[in-house]
Amino acid sequence: MILTLTLNPSLDRTIEIGSLTRGAVIRAAAAHLDPGGKGVNVSRALLANQVRSCAVVPFGGDEGRQLVALLSAEGIDMIPVPVAGATRSNVTLAEPDGTVTKVNEPGTALSPAELDTLGGAVLDAAQSADWVVASGSLPPGVPVDVYADLCRRFTAAGIQVAVDTSGPALVEAVAAGPTLVKPNREELAEATGTPIMCVGDVIAAAGKLRAMGARSVLTSLGADGALLMEDDQVWYGECPVEARRSSVGAGDAMLAGFLAAGARGTRALAEGLAWASAAVGLRGSRMPAPADIDRSAVRIGAPDPAQPLVSGG
Ligand SMILES: Nc1ncnc2c1ncn2[C@@H]1O[C@H](COP(=O)(O)OP(=O)(O)O)[C@@H](O)[C@H]1O
Ligand SMILES: O=P(O)(O)OC[C@H]1O[C@](O)(COP(=O)(O)O)[C@@H](O)[C@@H]1O
């Protein structure tokens, strides 16, 4: 069972527009509402592919009740923890060519007592977990070492921990020795203080994260694919997308696919890439089901350090 913790979940509203013009009144073509937050999405993707998962999720206010209702409707196995502050809403403006502009709210603070309750829920549920996935940003006021603390507890108890977060929380977590981290290009550059312009830069920075404490590093590189570094091995892979609709949730789908396929080596990397590409082809932050996933376009090989990265970072 894969247990996910999302301290800062969201209602994800995706608004489809023709094109983005600052300062204009934009008439939207359509809008979608999805339950969101990184760990929530990992659990959604796993459920859609019949892999057992449970999501620990704080929820508050009308938005929080709506989040829980949407997750229940999807059939997610979850531990919803009521909190005082309202769950945030994140907005994505999606253009027809697949370009997305995201506005993520900071979320509302969790009190120390609420954080203790959430930590207790994770510790209890982790008894029957193979993996604990700690994902997403921290709401205001939450100590930056919260994921690091979980890493230390679980790795000491022999439970594997994956972390997907950003900024100081990622740096702290890496030092606590997680089994796996999944930064994107920007997060990797920020955590290591190095600009990342080519595949060689990714290899150097991922090596730095391993030297800082992470066991395996799965770096997602947007349209450039992904690079996996574990032990002394490095693989690079990509999986082109025919029709891009929304990349929101693609990183979460990648982590879910990677974990579902055993979280090691080329098979897991290929599965992560296939799930991520499928997510990019779906509207909003919909997670791919088996019928959406096409493994035939995945290419895995040795990385070429000189290869420049073309997608944003
Ligand atoms: N434009 C794209 N074309 C093909 N694959 C993509 C594209 N955007 C994202 N992906 C896939 O989704 C994965 C995660 O996307 P990325 O933007 O790196 O992560 P995150 O969503 O965490 O920021 C990438 O590694 C890649 O496999
Ligand atoms: O916690 P953060 O970093 O604000 O991110 C939350 C957002 O990320 C998502 O989980 C999508 O993540 P990815 O695009 O990185 O896979 C959205 O559902 C959510 O709105």
For tokens 């693989």, the residue is 235
Query: End-to-end CA distance of the chain, in Å?
Result: 33
Give the DSSP letter of residue 308. B
pLDDT at 211 over 80: yes
Ligand 1 atom closest to the CA of 182, numbered from 1? 22
Mutate to test the pocket of ligand 2, among 4, 5, 6, 10 (most ligand atoms within 8 A of CB): 10
State the distance from the centre of ligand 1 to the C-alpha of 259, rounded, in angstroms: 17
Rounded to 5 degrees, φ, ψ at 254 are: -60, -45
State the ipTM, two decimals. 0.98
Contact 46, 272 (CB under 8 A): no
For residue 309, the CA-to-ligand 1 centroid distance in Å is: 13
User: Rounded CA gap, 16 and 192, in Å?
Assistant: 35
Q: What is the pLDDT of residue 121?
A: 96
Which ranges of 37-193 would DSSP assign to H, the alpha helix? 38-48, 61-74, 112-125, 146-156, 167-175, 185-192
Give the Å distance between the CA of 196 and the centre of ligand 1.
Answer: 16
pTM of the model: 0.97
- Residue range 80-108: mean pLDDT, rounded: 95
Ligand 1 center–CA 250 separation, angstroms = 5
282 lines ligand 1 (CB under 6 A): no
Residues 6+ positions from 190 with CB-CB distance below 8 Å: 166, 167, 170
Say yes or no: CB of residue 251 within 6 Å of ligand 1: yes
Can you tell me which residue has the tokens 């073309």? 310
SS3 letters across 173-197:
HHHCCCCEECCEHHHHHHHHCCCCC
Give me the pLDDT at residue 98, please: 85
Residue-wise pLDDT for 216-252, tens only, equals 999 999 999 999 999 989 999 999 998 998 899 999 9
pLDDT for the residue numbered 311: 84
Q: How much is the mean pLDDT over the chain?
A: 96
Asked whether 137 lines ligand 1 (CB < 6 A), one says no
Q: For 2-47, how does the pLDDT look when each residue is reduced to its tens digit (9 = 90+)? A: 999 999 999 999 999 999 999 999 999 999 999 999 999 999 999 9
* Half-sphere exposure for 230 (CA within 13 Å, toward CB): 16
- Atom of ligand 2 at shortest distance to CA of 90? 20
Query: Which residue has the CA at smallest separation from atom 13 of ligand 2?
Result: 249
Stretch 201-218: mean pLDDT, rounded? 98
The tens digit of pLDDT for each residue in 112-143 reads 999 999 999 999 999 999 999 999 999 998 99
Kindly report the protein residue whose alpha carbon is nearest to atom 5 of ligand 1.
223
Q: Which among 252, 292, 294, 304 is annotated as catalytic?
A: 252
Ligand 1 pocket, residue 136 CB under 6 Å? no
- Res 212 pLDDT > 80: yes
Say what the pLDDT of residue 232 is: 83
Nearest ligand by distance to the CA of 248:
2
Q: Which atom of ligand 1 is nearest to the CA of 248?
A: 21
Ligand 2 atom at shortest distance from the alpha carbon of 40: 10
What's the 222 CA to ligand 1 centre distance in angstroms? 3
Determine how β-strand 100-103 pairs with β-strand 88-94. Answer: antiparallel
**Is residue 252 annotated as part of the catalytic site, yes or no?**
yes
Looking at the CA of residue 137, tell me the nearest atom of ligand 2: 1
Is any ligand 1 atom within 6 A of the Cβ of residue 273? yes
**What band does 313 get if pLDDT is binned at 50, 70 and 90?**
low
pLDDT at 273: 98
Task: Give the full edge-to-edge strand order of the sheet including 30-36.
Answer: 30-36, 10-16, 88-94, 100-103
Apex 244 CA angle, 271 and 34, nearest 5? 80
Name the residue with the closest Cα to ligand 2, atom 16: 249
| 3.40.50.720, 3.40.1190.20, 3.40.50.620, 3.40.630.30: CATH of 2-20+27-301 | 3.40.1190.20
